[in-house]
């Protein structure tokens, strides 16, 4: 058995040890002050670490320096990225797939990570991108009305489009609106459902006997976009490989997809896993759309951004200036520094901040000021781009159509 197959069996049969971090599609929590132990998570999930050798190959094949999120280990784990690079080297086609479960009118900074990264990958590889809005999932888990869930999908689609995806190569869809008009998608859902037992889905996702059957039947809906025949208007009859960048809490869906793929005649989807964007209150958990003070939302004003960071960003500094100057700060738990690793692109400046804060030369307030000066223009630029995304533009992205995909001859 492969490491991945062993991990699937362990997770299905044995559950999670008491001292393990809790990481699943709905819950993320760590007992460690520094947050999730990602090396341990790689072993538990049976994935592979993104190492320097893989990054060097990426740069050699694409002619592009790896994204700073790859270089800094923010995207830290993968499944079969080497196969995707082989395909790129051989001129064989593949496509990108990621998604969003719309649970709020506005997305927050953490939600942007997979989309900003996918937009960069789309440019590097020049491939189609499909983006699933799982409004059906949120209608089930959050007890939203169908109408409200769809409305949130369209609002979130505007934030996603504002990331700059190429309209000619990007298809965005709402589950609640699209699946009913796409028989191929529903047929793949049934193919997946026939391959997964009730005990397996309970073991992988932790469902209980009192959960509604809607939850139990949902995972194949998120798995289906990983198989290209779900989009016959894009891929005709081609069996095309898929690369899925996502936060690692979404991995259970795609462990299931990879287990099913050979049985329904499709290549296993490849994955790129990111770490979590931590909440303002500290790295033990991820941001939550339901807790306004845990996150910077994309519709927050410059003043709100400043106030939230100054008031709520967890500090890795000491209790007094004197102690901080003597003992230094802890970058592993300081949220301002952690957020700067995501959004400050200047490697040299980031290293200066790390050294200065660790040595006690830079105070927490100064680190917060640096973060505010990075985030305010970033969010303002996003708001400006979003203001130009009309309902008609959203309709264009969400219209099923040919994306110019050219299959291998």
The full set of domains in the chain, from first to last, is: 3-279 (3.40.50.620), 290-387 (1.10.240.10)
pTM (2 d.p.):
0.91
Tens digits of residue pLDDT in 52-99: 999 999 999 999 999 999 999 999 999 999 999 999 999 999 999 999
Tens digits of residue pLDDT in 229-242: 999 999 987 799 99
pLDDT for 285 equals 62
Using 70 as the pLDDT threshold, list the residues of the chain that sit under it.
1-19, 34, 283-292, 408-409
| Cβ-Cβ contacts under 8 Å for 361 (sequence gap 6 or more) | 325, 355
pLDDT for 89 equals 96
CB 21 within 8 A of CB 36: yes
Instruction: Tell me how far CA of residue 170 lies from CA of 74, 163, 164, 165, 237, in angstroms.
Output: 24, 12, 10, 7, 19
pLDDT for 8 equals 52
Strands 278-279, 282-286: pairing kind: antiparallel
pLDDT for 253 equals 94
Cα–Cα distance for residue pair 139/103, rounded to 1 Å: 9
Question: Is 399 exposed, middle or buried, given 0-12, 13-18 or 19+ CB atoms closer than 10 A?
Answer: exposed
pLDDT for 287 equals 55
């Amino acid at each position: 058995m492969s490491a991945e197959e062993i991990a699937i069996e362990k997770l299905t049969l044995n559950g999670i040890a008491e001292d393990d971090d809790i990481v699943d599609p709905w819950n993320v929590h760590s007992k460690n002050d520094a947050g999730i132990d990602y090396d341990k998570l790689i072993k538990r999930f049976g994935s592979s670490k993104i190492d320097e050798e893989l990054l060097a190959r990426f740069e050699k094949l694409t002619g592009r320096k790896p994204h700073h999120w790859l270089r800094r280990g923010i995207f830290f784990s993968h499944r079969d990225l080497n196969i995707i690079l082989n395909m790129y080297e051989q001129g064989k086609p593949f496509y990108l797939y990621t998604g969003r479960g719309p649970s709020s009118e506005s997305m927050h900074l953490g939600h942007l990570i997979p989309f900003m990264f996918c937009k960069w990958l789309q440019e590097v590889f020049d491939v189609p991108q499909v983006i699933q809005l799982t409004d059906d999932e949120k209608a089930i888990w959050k007890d939203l009305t169908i109408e409200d869930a769809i409305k949130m999908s369209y609002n979130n689609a505007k934030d996603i489009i504002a990331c700059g995806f190429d309209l000619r190569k990007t298809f965005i869809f709402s589950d609640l609106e699209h699946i009913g008009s796409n028989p191929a998608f529903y047929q793949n859902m049934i193919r997946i459902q026939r391959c997964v037992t009730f005990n397996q889905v309970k073991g992988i996702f932790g469902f209980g006997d009192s959960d509604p059957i809607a939850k139990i039947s949902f995972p194949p809906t998120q798995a289906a976009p990983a198989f290209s025949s779900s989009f016959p208007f894009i891929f005709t009859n081609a069996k095309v490989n898929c690369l899925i960048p996502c936060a690692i809490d979404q991995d259970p869906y795609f462990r299931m997809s990879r287990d099913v793929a050979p049985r329904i005649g499709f290549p296993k989807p490849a994955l790129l896993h990111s770490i979590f964007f931590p909440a303002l209150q500290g790295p033990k958990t991820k941001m939550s759309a339901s807790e306004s003070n845990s996150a910077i939302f994309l519709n927050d004003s410059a003043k709100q951004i400043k106030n939230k960071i100054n008031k709520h960003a967890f500090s890795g500094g000491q209790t007094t200036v004197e102690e901080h100057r003597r003992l230094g700060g802890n970058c592993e738990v300081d949220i301002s520094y952690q957020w700067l690793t995501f959004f400050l692109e200047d490697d040299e400046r980031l290293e200066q901040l790390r050294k200065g804060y660790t040595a006690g030369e830079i105070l927490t307030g100064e680190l917060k000021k640096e973060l505010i000066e990075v985030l305010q223009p970033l969010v303002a630029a996003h708001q400006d781009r979003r203001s130009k995304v009309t309902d008609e533009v959203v309709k264009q992205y969400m219209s099923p159509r040919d994306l110019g995909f050219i299959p291998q001859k």
